[in-house]
A and B are shown apart, each in its own frame.
Chain A
Amino acid sequence: MIGRRGARLEELEALYRSRFEVFARVAASVTGDPERALDAVQEAFATAVTKRRSFRGDGPLEAWVWRIVLNAARSDVRRSVTELGYGELPSANGRPEDDAELRMALARLPERQRTAVFLRYYADLEYASIAEALGISSGTVAATLNAAHAAIRTRLEGIRA
């Protein structure tokens, strides 16, 4: 896949069908609203379909699509002046306190750090793909994740102290 030009429609469809939920959930962390995240994902994939011939193949197709999805979600945020609102619903698991603390700590991270965390630990992307998706270097990805870890650790300790 690396080094060729253009993406096939079937590849995009397969990616969409296999990873739709991951795209939608991470996009919701940017828009703060699942409805608008869904819209952003749909629009982003439509853009990817339209511009699939411009995919250069320098990296994985998924990373290229992630960049489009995140740009669509961020554009939505800029248009609407909205704010993060994950977890409007109470956590349905057996450890609601832990989730609430983690949610709070994540919500206070800068957007790039938070998105990097979700791409790495939820979407399971490699550093190179995260770099492509966020438009930064691989080295910066590592630094961003380290900073996120440190900030989360500090905030959780502060919450629990």
Chain B
Amino acid sequence: MTDFDRTSLDRILSAPAGPADWDDVLGRARAGQGRRRMLAVLAAVAAVVVVSASAVAMRAFLGERGFVGLPPTGAPPSTPTTGKLMASYWVRTPETMSNPRRVKGWLYADGRLVWQRENDPHQPRPPEAANRWSSGLVEQRLTRAGVERLRSEIVSTGLFSRNRDLVLETESDPCFNWIDARNDGQLVRVTWTSTVCEAQAPPGAPIMRTEPATREQTIALQRLKLRLSDPAAWLPESSWRQREFKAFVPSRFAIGLWSQQGAHTPAEILAELPMAAQEALRGMSWRTSGFGPSAEVTTRRARSLAKALDGTGLTRKRGAFFLSYRLAGPSMSESVVIVFGPLLPHGEEPGYGG
């Protein structure tokens, strides 16, 4: 077929990442004109102004919006750099079986509540989102009492006396949901799926040892997931030190290696890369997990690594959830992917699935 029809091209071309916004166009035009006038007048003090303006712009950039990839230069990492996990969760909010609009959150003893909301990529990007797929990682801060109130809200259900894998008789939950909560000093995990999901499991799928949820347990989980999806909607003002959310800037990143060619060890995978890329990644302390080799680096080091990988023949791609560099393989596939994954205060990556 070489008679291109508009319908085919319409399906192939990516939909706009957001709605038309003429006011934004006019704002940019005014800003551009203003910049030119300002530069003419303030050239003599440009250096000072630029430094000040950068700080203000950085604050504006990081206000009420997450990001995907590396944080802008100069963005201060979230502090403290490490944190004790009090609870974490991945729950559905609206009535949909699919992933979009699910919320994943992490509550720390120091008061931080870090979370990200998965968007429906077929819908226009919400104004506060990092992109069509995700809010990006953002953080709010609770008081000590607020942390305890949120944790208590979870454990008071009575479900967290031990780990549980439950099956709910419901049609409105995705097939895997979890809540971890610290109870008596230990993190206890409750997962749940639905009878619909169990019935739809393909032949050969791993069988989970699940137990049927009671009616009370079902009601408790349904209520809990609504609460966890938006704590700002019900926690009182006194529970918050910072109710408005801002971007979570990680202090460390995990650099992950993945090969489609069957290579497993760091040396094998690195050998597939161009020499310049190998040089950029030389001397890193790789450790191997179930997902392949990865190495922890500071955010500053991650930024310098990314800069070094630019121009090495790899393709830089800011995807739905993270930055990556890709070595093209046959048939438009990638033979090697280098992923820059942000690390949360408790040392894990957010993950983009169960």
Contact = CB atoms under 8 A, between A and B. Distances in A.
Interface of A: 13, 16-17, 20-21, 24-26, 28-29, 32-35, 37-38, 42-43, 45-47, 49-50, 80-83, 85-89, 91-93, 98-99, 102-104, 106-107, 117-118, 120-122, 124, 149, 152-153, 156
A150 B132 CA distance: 35
Contacts of A118: 9, 13
A118 B5 CA distance: 10
A89 B8 CA distance: 15
Contact of B15 (A25, A120, A149): A25
Interface string B24-54: 1111110111000000000000000000000
B119 interface: no
B14 A28 contact: yes
Question: Majority SS of interface residues in chain A?
Answer: helix
Nearest 10 interchain pairs by C-beta: A46-B28, A24-B16, A34-B17, A20-B20, A25-B13, A121-B4, A49-B29, A46-B29, A83-B315, A28-B14
Contacts of A24: 15-17
B14 A149 contact: no
A29 B33 CA distance: 29
Interface residues of B, number: 42
A104 B331 CA distance: 9
Contacts of A33: 318
A38 B2 contact: no
Contacts of B29: 45-47, 49-50
B16 A99 contact: no
B288 to A, nearest CB: 28
Most-contacted residue by chain A among B22, B29, B311, B316 (CB, 10 A): B29
A89 B16 contact: no
A114 to B, nearest CB: 11
A17 B22 contact: yes
Contact of A35 (B13, B132, B310): B132
Nearest to B12: A103
Interface of B: 1-2, 4-6, 8-18, 20-22, 24-29, 31-33, 121-122, 125, 131-132, 310-311, 315-320, 332
Contact of A38 (B4, B11, B18): B18
A43 B332 CA distance: 31
Nearest to B9: A122
A26 B153 CA distance: 49
Nearest to B33: A50
Between A34, A82, A99, the greatest number of chain B beta carbons within 10 A of the residue's beta carbon is seen for A34
Given A49-B26, A118-B13, A99 B8 contact: yes
Contacts of A85: 317
Given A35-B132, A49-B29, A156-B2, A102 B17 contact: no
Contacts of B18: 38
Nearest to A13: B22
Contacts of A88: 14, 319-320
Nearest to A16: B22
A37 B16 contact: yes
A99 B14 CA distance: 13
Given A46-B29, A149-B2, A87 B12 contact: yes
B317 A83 contact: yes
Given A24-B17, A37-B17, A117-B4, A122 B10 contact: yes
B176 to A, nearest CB: 21
User: Which of A20, A38, A120 is packed against the most chain B CB atoms within 10 Å?
Assistant: A38
Contacts of B20: 16-17, 20-21
A34 B315 CA distance: 17
Given A86-B13, A121-B6, A80 B316 contact: yes
Contacts of A153: 2
A82 B317 contact: yes
Contacts of A149: 2
B240 to A, nearest CB: 31
